[in-house]
């Protein structure tokens, strides 16, 4: 689905918003490397806001910044690469750089499925030609569903930076509160393989395209 152009991003660049959002992830705690495989590195660190870990995934892929940004905004493609996805759909297209979408994660019994409404805002870094897609949860955007747990906190970013030899560095950072029903120690057991698989699937998808 080709309907995004970096030209539009420059028209709406909001550097102050990006700087403020980046500060919310600043911490004196060091990142700990938990997994390194096939050129993908997964880091974790304790969060200042919760017992849940913050996650950061770094990787490189032979693709363009535009291809990666289009894939992130192409919600219809999520079934091809996002793990444990039950459903996902766009709720509102504010502009070519901002959308709200609904997603529901399939969670094994005996736990309930999780859902949330996410907001994506895409901004360009004019210094290096990269793009940052900031995401945040908006749990009150639509009414809650019966027997589905609404996530109360979800934030992070996808950062795509062109490097050399036609490659782009992927920097994926997020923090989430899984909501009622998941003890923190159980969530933290599965925070490494899930993000690793998602970034691996993303690399494979854009490489095929």
C-beta separation of 40 from 170 below 8 A: no
C-beta separation of 31 from 44 below 8 A: yes
Rounded Cα–Cα distance for residues 103 and 191 (Å): 18
pLDDT, residue 186, reads: 63
Distance of CA 13 to the CA centre of its chain: 20
pLDDT, residue 165, reads: 85
pLDDT, residue 17, reads: 40
Instruction: Express each pLDDT in 97-153 by its tens digit.
Output: 999 999 998 887 778 888 999 999 999 988 889 999 999 999 999 999 999 988 888
Tell me 143's DSSP state.
P
Half-sphere exposure of 120 (CA within 13 A, CB side): 27
DSSP H helices, 32-149, are 65-73
C-beta separation of 102 from 150 below 8 A: no
Rounded Cα–Cα distance for residues 63 and 203 (Å): 9
Rounded Cα–Cα distance for residues 163 and 194 (Å): 26
Structure tokens at 150: 């609404």
Rounded Cα–Cα distance for residues 152 and 93 (Å): 22
Intervals of the chain under pLDDT 50? 1-24
Check whether the bond before 110 is cis (ω within 30° of 0). Answer: yes
Q: Which domains does the chain have, with CATH numbers?
A: 6-208 (3.30.530.20)
């Amino acid at each position: 689905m080709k309907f995004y152009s970096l030209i539009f991003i420059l028209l709406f660049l909001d550097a102050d918003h990006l700087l403020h959002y980046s500060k919310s992830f600043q911490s004196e705690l060091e990142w700990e490397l938990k997994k390194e495989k096939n050129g993908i590195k997964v880091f974790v660190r304790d969060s200042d806001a919760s017992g849940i870990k913050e996650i950061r995934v770094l990787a490189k892929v032979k693709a363009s910044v535009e291809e990666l940004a289009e894939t992130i905004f192409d919600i219809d493609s999520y079934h091809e690469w996002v793990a444990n996805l039950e459903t996902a759909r766009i709720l509102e297209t504010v502009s070519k750089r901002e959308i709200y979408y609904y997603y529901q994660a399939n969670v094994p019994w005996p736990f309930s499925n999780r859902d949330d409404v996410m907001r994506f805002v895409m901004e360009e870094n004019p210094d290096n030609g990269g793009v940052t897609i900031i995401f945040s949860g908006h749990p009150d955007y639509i009414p809650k569903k019966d027997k589905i747990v609404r996530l109360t906190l979800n934030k992070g970013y996808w950062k795509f930076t062109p490097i050399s030899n036609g490659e782009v560095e992927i920097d994926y950072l997020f923090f989430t509160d899984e909501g009622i029903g998941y003890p923190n120690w159980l969530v933290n057991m599965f925070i490494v393989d899930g993000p690793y698989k998602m970034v691996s699937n993303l690399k494979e998808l854009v490489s095929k395209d």
